[in-house]
Amino acid sequence: MTVVDALRGVGFSVEDGELFGLLGPNGAGKTTSIKILTTLLLPTSGSVRVLGFDPVREPNEVRSRVGYVFGGDRGLYDRLSALDNLRYFADVYRVPARQKAKRIAELLELVGLTGRERDRVETYSRGMRQRLHIARGLLHDPQVIFLDEPTIGLDPVGARELRETVAALRDSGKTILLTTHYMFEADELCSRVAVINKGQIVAEGTPRSLKAGVRDRTVIEVVAFNVSDAAPEAVRGLDGVESLAVEAVDQTQVLSVQSAEGAALIQPLLGTLTGAQVTSVTAREPTLEDAYVQLVSEP
């Protein structure tokens, strides 16, 4: 049996009323962190506190005070209506009987599902399911909300609506821990972020401070067809290249190169792409995503 340390010495704290982002690539340890904080996993070592309670020794104290929402299609009873799902989870999460109907109506309104609450969940779009997830996670009015990649798989409109809901929760004073690998989402919503990679925190601060780490750089984006397998290595070998990310978009490859050299790097860069058909080259200011790429690309 192979033992993998999903997290190694991860440490961060989230202030009351803060929307904190936990960023990282797939498998970095974001969900593992959330599951430990929500009592669903036991850490092998270390200590954790949520609102002063230990999720390992005092799980029920934590469970009654936190809400957990994850992205994707899962986490709902598909054959039941949204109303039946919410009624059940309200009872399971101990919403007082006298408040239940009012609370459900308020949440359906908040997530824009009023009028569709009697439809079976299996007839819902992914965006509607995700909004229902949010409503479910808020039923017991938790002090802390854990949102694990809530916009994953949503269309742009659905994702934007969901971000608006998250922003409204933040503005209402809820403490929120959001995991995502959409950097613009973190930039838009979070007051502070931590970047986790291979089970370790590699950076922590405000989105602005993380971007400041790459402020002296320029990002050159090259869109091309038929980029050879050897080209990325050749690009990395150029003087002044700080990092390189390659992404396949449809039939093309997009090379994002970070460098302090600015536009002066464009000619040598194109020189390494022999045989490729370059369709566009742009130079721009770095974003949080560029800072993130830099952080998770470091060995």
Partner 1 sequence: MIRAFASGLRVDLLQLIRTPFDMVGMLVWPLVFASIAYLLLGHASGERALFTASLGAAVMIMWGWVILGAGFALDTQREQGTLELVVGAPTPLVVLVSPVMISRAVFGVYGLLLTLLWGRLVFGIPVLIDDWPAFIAAGVGCILAIGTLGLIAASTFVLYRAAFYLGISLQYPVYIACGLILPFSVLPGWLRPISWLLAPTWGFRALREAASAQAPWPDIGMCFGLSVVYIAIAIPCLAVFEHLARDRATLKLA
CB of 79 to partner 1, least distance (A): 5
Whichever of 77 and 182 has its CB closer to partner 1, that residue is 77
Whichever of 3 and 248 has its CB closer to partner 1, that residue is 3
CB of 119 to partner 1, least distance (A): 13
CB of 38 to partner 1, least distance (A): 6
Whichever of 9 and 27 has its CB closer to partner 1, that residue is 27
**CB-CB contact of 222 with 276 (8 Å):** no
Strand ranges in the chain using DSSP code E only, listed in sequence order: 19-23, 66-70, 144-148, 175-180, 192-197, 200-205, 218-225, 241-249, 252-259, 277-284
Q: Is 54 exposed, middle or buried (0-12, 13-18, 19+ CB in 10 A)?
A: middle
Please give the structure tokens belonging to residue 120. 């079976």
CA gyration radius, the chain: 22
Residue 2: what residue type? T
CB of 268 to partner 1, least distance (A): 44
CB atoms within 10 A of CB 116: 16
Q: Is 218 exposed, middle or buried (0-12, 13-18, 19+ CB in 10 A)?
A: buried
* Interface residue list for partner 1 (CB under 8 A): 35, 38-42, 60, 63-64, 68, 70, 72, 74-80, 84, 87-89, 91-94, 97, 136
CB of 189 to partner 1, least distance (A): 24
Whichever of 96 and 156 has its CB closer to partner 1, that residue is 96
**CB-CB contact of 286 with 217 (8 Å):** yes
**CB-CB contact of 190 with 177 (8 Å):** no
**CB-CB contact of 85 with 133 (8 Å):** no
CB of 254 to partner 1, least distance (A): 31
Whichever of 4 and 248 has its CB closer to partner 1, that residue is 4
Beta bridge partners of 253: 224, 248
Judged by DSSP in three states, 105 sits in helix
CB of 227 to partner 1, least distance (A): 34
Whichever of 100 and 236 has its CB closer to partner 1, that residue is 100
Whichever of 12 and 77 has its CB closer to partner 1, that residue is 77
